[in-house]
Amino acid sequence: MYNDNPTLINVNKHIDESKQGEVLESFQSGLESEKKFYIESYGCQMNFADSEIVASILTEDGYSSTRIMEEADLILINTCSIREKAEDNVRQRLRQFDKVKKIKPGLLVGVLGCMAERLKGKFLDEEKLVDIVVGPDAYRDLPLLINNAEDGQKGVNVLLSREETYADISPLRLDSNGVSGFISIMRGCDNMCSFCVVPFTRGRERSRNPFTIVAEARDLFERGYKEITLLGQNVDSFKWENPETMEIYSFAMLLEMVALVSPIVRIRFSTSHPKDITDDVLFTMAKYDNICKYIHLPIQSGNSRILELMNRTYDRSWYESKVKRIYEIMPECAISSDIITGFCTETEEEHQDTLSIIEWAKFTMSYMFFYSERPGTLAARKYKDDVPYDVKKKRLSDVIRVQRQISFEHNKLDLGKTFEILIEGDSKKSSLDFKGRNSQNKAVIFPKIEGFKPGDYVNVKITSYTSATLKGEIV
Ligand code: 5AD
Ligand code: SF4
């Protein structure tokens, strides 16, 4: 889910077909005004969704987007602070932008997102690479800050908000295959996992008005989208009180409202917290065919002592009982996880507990990381980062090996089964093949057949597999 990779992800890479006219128009008006922005996003899906909000705000302000960095008057980088490596990538990228700045006087560079929030004015004072610094809750202020920066002043707004959800801003979906769309349903996080910087960079948790979420889902459906992913740091704690009726909307209620937009639109969501996911959510998932049978349920560690130090507020047996409940209510449901190796004081024996929970829970996949101490977090203040780097890395490779084996075995069970696949586009390796996913979020590759296109559902029989993908044929 997180992209620490320096591979550039430009929100303008794929232009949503239904928006092409609009983009072209704004591109042309951009030519007249000659104000163009270029934006890159790193980190979680929330950041990518935020970049689409930013793109919308800038378009309203008369900017058009460009995919060519050298052509831009404004370069923005939406950043991630979750691990040190993510921040290193951004710094490296800023140095590259600086080279463009040197040959293009007047070019403005802005840092958005979590790193902006974490480092605040430091970017302006120490690094001198940046003109604008904007935290995740201050994007509405961008036009003003850009104006200030054009006048030679530095523009910073890193105020966090308790209310901002950007509910009224319709995201400009520039990096889209026209099939899958993302909707942010909440912002911030009130959990205090001791390793995590997110509560400090994204602020307090707040949920968006569910009716605006349903309206956005309907809009995506009307524009031909077939899959909607509801995003939040902890979707299960979604809670919105109608100020007129005082009625409280839970995540299970929201899920049902969105599922009812259309039976042909698949609904996914991420991320779930083991302490908050309720039976109501599981029953709602089971009730609607178009809610995908897939839950991203990060465990982080398989050892109860480490979970306590991580302040995850559950222990191993609580997690196990959640997994049992999921399989009881939806035997076909896939579960994936996030795992951190080498957290403070973790012993070899405790690490073995993480390996065993992967096997026990049968995660179809995991996002796996070694612990990276983040300044200001609870763990950084309270515990010593005492597992040597080499040990953390070795444990990470153990976790990757075990997960790969479990994924392989899970995929093996799919051999000969037929799944309904939503076609997303060409496979990466061959334009003769399509790539899609089944309800369980497994990637499936299959040869193209005349008459089918991205956005169509097809039945695919699985004929072979690896640990990462299923292969099959349309039947
Ligand atoms: N070090 C390593 N991994 C981390 N994550 C969050 N903070 C850290 C950190 N300091 C991982 C967790 C989380 C995922 C998004 O990133 O596994 O679920
Ligand atoms: Fe970070 Fe924990 Fe919140 Fe996830 S739930 S964003 S890991 S504090």
Q: Where, residue-wise, is CATH 3.30.750.200 in the chain?
A: 294-413
Q: Where, residue-wise, is CATH 3.40.50.12160 in the chain?
A: 7-157
Q: For domain 177-292, which CATH number applies: 3.30.750.210, 1.25.40.10, 2.40.110.10, 3.90.550.10? A: 3.30.750.210
Distance (angstroms) between ligand 2 centre and the Cα of 193 equals: 6
pLDDT the model gives residue 247 = 97
pLDDT above 70 coverage of the chain, percent:
92
Cβ atoms of residues 460 and 473 within 8 Å = yes
Helix (H) or strand (E) holding 163: none
Cβ atoms of residues 80 and 42 within 8 Å = yes
Closest CA to 336 of 294, 291, 279, 301: 294
pLDDT in tens, 51-65: 999 999 999 999 999
In whole angstroms, give the CA distance from residue 76 to residue 142. Answer: 11
Distance (angstroms) between ligand 1 centre and the Cα of 439 equals: 26
* Residue 412, CA distances (Å) to 416, 433, 435, 447, 469 in order: 9, 21, 19, 20, 10
Average pLDDT, the chain: 91
In whole angstroms, give the CA distance from residue 136 to residue 45. Answer: 13
Query: Which residue owns the Cα nearest ligand 1 atom 14?
Result: 338
Q: Ligand 2, closest atom to CA 271?
A: 4
Q: Where, residue-wise, is CATH 2.40.50.140 in the chain?
A: 418-474
pLDDT in tens, 226-241: 999 999 999 999 999 9
In whole angstroms, give the CA distance from residue 371 to residue 369. Answer: 6
Q: Within 10 A of 70 (CB to CB), how many other CB atoms are there?
A: 11
Distance (angstroms) between ligand 2 centre and the Cα of 194 equals: 9
Tell me if 372 CB under 6 Å of ligand 1.
Answer: yes
Kindly state the average pLDDT of the residues 141-155.
Answer: 91
Whether this model's pTM surpasses 0.85: yes
Q: Where, residue-wise, is CATH 3.30.750.210 in the chain?
A: 177-292
Tokens of 382: 């309270």
Taking the domain 294-413, which CATH number applies?
Answer: 3.30.750.200
Distance (angstroms) between ligand 1 centre and the Cα of 428 equals: 28
Distance (angstroms) between ligand 1 centre and the Cα of 269 equals: 19
Kindly state the average pLDDT of the residues 440-469.
Answer: 97
Cβ atoms of residues 217 and 406 within 8 Å = no
Tell me if 82 CB under 6 Å of ligand 1.
Answer: yes
Distance (angstroms) between ligand 2 centre and the Cα of 298 equals: 10
pLDDT in tens, 319-374: 999 999 999 999 999 999 999 999 999 999 999 999 999 999 999 999 999 999 99
* Residue 239, CA distances (Å) to 156, 158, 203, 273, 382 in order: 31, 25, 16, 14, 31
* Count of CA atoms in the C-beta half-sphere (13 A) of 346: 31
pLDDT the model gives residue 127 = 64
Classify the C-alpha dihedral 220-225-230-232 as positive or negative: negative
Q: Token match 């992913």: residue?
A: 229
Kindly state the average pLDDT of the residues 1-27.
Answer: 36
Q: Ligand 1, closest atom to CA 377?
A: 10
Question: Length of the chain, please?
Answer: 475
Q: Ligand 2, closest atom to CA 233?
A: 6
Cα 115 to the center of its chain, rounded Å: 16
How is domain 7-157 classified at the CATH fold level? Rossmann fold (3.40.50)
pLDDT the model gives residue 236 = 97
State the CATH class of domain 418-474: mainly beta
> Which DSSP string do the residues of 78-121 spell out, in sequence order?
EE--SSHHHHHHHHHHHHHHHHHHHHSTT-EEEEEEHHHHHHTT
In whole angstroms, give the CA distance from residue 465 to residue 459. Answer: 17
Residue 18 binned pLDDT confidence (cut-offs 50, 70, 90): very low
* Residue 120, CA distances (Å) to 80, 113, 125, 155 in order: 13, 10, 10, 11
Mutate to test the pocket of ligand 2, among 196, 204, 270 (most ligand atoms within 8 A of CB): 196
φ/ψ of residue 107, rounded to 5 = -65, 130
Tell me if 374 CB under 6 Å of ligand 1.
Answer: yes
Q: Within 10 A of 348 (CB to CB), how many other CB atoms are there?
A: 10
Distance (angstroms) between ligand 2 centre and the Cα of 91 equals: 24
Tell me if 202 CB under 6 Å of ligand 1.
Answer: no
Query: Which residue owns the Cα nearest ligand 1 atom 6?
Result: 196
Cis amide prior to 245 (ω within 30 degrees):
no
In whole angstroms, give the CA distance from residue 249 to residue 231. Answer: 16
- Bridge partners of 420, per DSSP, are 459
Q: Ligand 1, closest atom to CA 1?
A: 15
In whole angstroms, give the CA distance from residue 206 to residue 45. Answer: 17
Shortest-distance ligand to the CA of residue 296 = 1
Q: Within 10 A of 324 (CB to CB), how many other CB atoms are there?
A: 11
